[in-house]
């Protein structure tokens, strides 16, 4: 694997990490059709835990088979595949070494009344399965946010000590946060910054809207003339909030939507300097041929070809 200067520059931003962890980051950055560009597209399939099998896989029933998702990520030329323990275990031998994997080590479900997640995997599991990283969700604003932060602090330290990378899904929700506030620009930028402060190598947040949730934040945005008028400008602000772009930040695909809306959003992410996308339902809920066509266009956008 010949590393590009762009990837070397990204790795230099992680100054405290051991060669093992940097090697796993390099593996993700040097895999697939975006290899060496500094951009990544990741397939996450943790929605079965979050929403149940019918809501997740009935729209495209082959998705009930874990092998389907491994193969989709490989055939689409993506950088990595993220999933919970059981799903990765179900294809670990067949697909060993074919694509970097990220073990999602905590999960929620749609029956819970509190905004919280249970730890469902371990660093040892990630090592056993040959994963490149662990993935962990925090809910800033939730009444359980501090417990979740303490959990990832411990797991991140363990992961880094054995040469794994750390991905944090930072999804503000719960507490006194409004539904609109979950994707507000001030809240999303704050969530990305918290994930960086918690030691994430890769941060996952949602594309932000131009809503401002916190009145104290609004005063600053207005006084400093922070431009949030377009999605590209809002993405630029989130990247700046993530240690001035020294951390990889990928943006979720969100709820199911049409191809035009998805691709327009990806262009705005690219133009705002996003590190890439992590697209689940908007890919695997489509028939395989349609999913591959969509992911092909997403990759081409990040390569500057569309």
Which residues are known catalytic residues? 204
Backbone angles phi, psi at 277, to 5 degrees: -130, 155
Residues 57, 48: contact at Cβ < 8 Å?
A: yes
Q: How far apart are CA 64 and CA 264, in angstroms?
A: 29
Angle at 88 between CA 1 and CA 102, to 5 degrees: 50
Q: Compute the distance between CA of residue 22 and CA of residue 58 in angstroms, rounded to an integer.
A: 38
Exposure string (b/e) for 168-198, b if CB count within 10 Å is 16 or more? bbbbbbbeebeeebbbbbbbbbbbbbbbbeb
With vertex at residue 262, the alpha carbon angle to CA 64 and CA 28, rounded to the nearest 5 degrees, is 65
Burial class (CB in 10 A: 0-12, 13-18, 19+), 2: exposed
Q: Cα torsion at 90, 94, 97, 101 (round to 10°)?
A: -20
- Report CA-CA distances (Å) from 78 to 74, 283, 304: 6, 12, 16
Question: What tokens does 271 get?
Answer: 């133009």
Q: What span, in angstroms and rounded, lies between the C-alpha atoms of 98 and 92? A: 10
């Amino acid at each position: 694997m010949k590393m590009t200067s762009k990837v070397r520059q990204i790795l230099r931003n992680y100054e405290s990490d051991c060669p093992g962890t940097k090697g796993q980051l390099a593996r993700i950055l040097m895999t697939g059709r975006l290899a060496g560009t500094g951009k990544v597209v990741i397939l996450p399939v943790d929605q079965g835990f979050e929403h149940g099998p019918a809501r997740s896989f009935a729209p495209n029933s082959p998705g009930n088979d874990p092998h389907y998702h491994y193969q989709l990520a490989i055939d689409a030329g993506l950088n990595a595949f993220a999933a919970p323990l059981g799903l990765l275990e179900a294809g670990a031998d067949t697909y060993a070494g074919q694509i970097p994997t990220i073990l999602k080590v905590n999960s929620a479900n749609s029956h819970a009344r509190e905004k919280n997640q249970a730890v469902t995997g371990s660093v040892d599991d990630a090592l056993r399965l040959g994963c490149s990283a662990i993935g962990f969700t925090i809910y800033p604003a939730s009444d359980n946010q501090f417990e979740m932060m303490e959990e990832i602090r411990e797991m991140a330290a363990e992961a880094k000590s054995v040469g794994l990378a750390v991905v944090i899904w930072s999804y503000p929700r719960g507490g006194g946060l409004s539904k609109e506030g979950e994707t507000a620009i001030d809240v999303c930028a704050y969530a990305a910054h918290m994930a960086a402060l918690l030691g994430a190598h890769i941060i996952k947040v949602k594309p932000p809207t131009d809503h401002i949730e916190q009145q104290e934040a609004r005063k600053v945005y207005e006084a400093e003339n922070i431009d949030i008028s377009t999605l590209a400008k809002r993405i630029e602000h989130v990247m700046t909030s993530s240690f001035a772009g020294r951390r990889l930040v990928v943006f979720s695909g969100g709820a199911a939507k049409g191809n035009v809306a998805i691709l327009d959003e990806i262009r705005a992410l690219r133009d705002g300097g996003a590190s890439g996308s992590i697209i689940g339902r908007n890919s695997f809920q489509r028939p395989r041929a349609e999913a591959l066509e969509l992911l092909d266009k997403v990759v081409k956008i990040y390569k500057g070809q569309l």
